[in-house]
Copies of this chain bind each other. A is one copy, B any other.
Amino acid sequence: MRPSHDLPVDDLGVPMVTLSYLIKQVELVSRARLDEIVAAEGLSTSEYTALTVLGRRHGLTTSDLARNSFVRPQSMAELIGSLEQRDLISRAPDAENRRRMIISLTAAGRALLGRLRKPVEAMEEEMTSGLSPAKRAALSAALESCRVALSGARPH
């Protein structure tokens, strides 16, 4: 008899890996690759991620980015300050709420993202090389479903 504290097993009794463990493992390997790619442009992966979010959505503040990355505003402020010093982003007070400092990519920031586009796409191509286009699309859709189900957040 199997004790109740055993890990979940499949039909053959093989210990199963949880979905969150699999997600973490894929995140670890893709993160390691991304670290190398963006380091060539002097960026950390966290900085790169912030830049891509800023390239996709407009009118964001440091606090918005902090919530997006599950860190405190003070932590994100340090990262943003570094990007600002390097002229990859700029900030300007929101006309409607002068407490908010709206962040924008500079031309240099957009150019940097442009240089990283191909190598990042190549890494993702390699990562999904075992999947048909349909399965890859299903993977993205399933991940988005997981994100929404757990956070209740609005779609991108």
A interface residue numbers (CB < 8 A to B): 3-8, 15, 17-34, 49, 52, 55-56, 69-70, 110-111, 113-115, 117, 120-121, 123-124, 126-131, 135-136, 138-140, 142-151, 153, 156
Pairwise interchain contact B153-A126, C-beta atoms closer than 8 A: yes
User: Copies of this chain, how many?
Assistant: 2
A23, A142, A148: most-surrounded residue (chain B CB, <10 A): A23
Given the complex, which residues of B lie within 8 Å of A130, measured CB to CB?
145-146, 148-149
Pairwise interchain contact B26-A147, C-beta atoms closer than 8 A: yes
Given the complex, which residues of B lie within 8 Å of A151, measured CB to CB?
29
Pairwise interchain contact A23-B26, C-beta atoms closer than 8 A: yes
A48 to B112, CA, bound (A): 38
Pairwise interchain contact A49-B32, C-beta atoms closer than 8 A: no
Pairwise interchain contact B147-A22, C-beta atoms closer than 8 A: yes
For the complex formed, measure the closest distance between the CB of A51 and the CB atoms of chain B, giving whole angstroms.
Answer: 10
Pairwise interchain contact A29-B150, C-beta atoms closer than 8 A: yes
Pairwise interchain contact A149-B124, C-beta atoms closer than 8 A: no
Pairwise interchain contact B127-A19, C-beta atoms closer than 8 A: yes
Pairwise interchain contact A30-B20, C-beta atoms closer than 8 A: yes
Pairwise interchain contact A24-B27, C-beta atoms closer than 8 A: yes
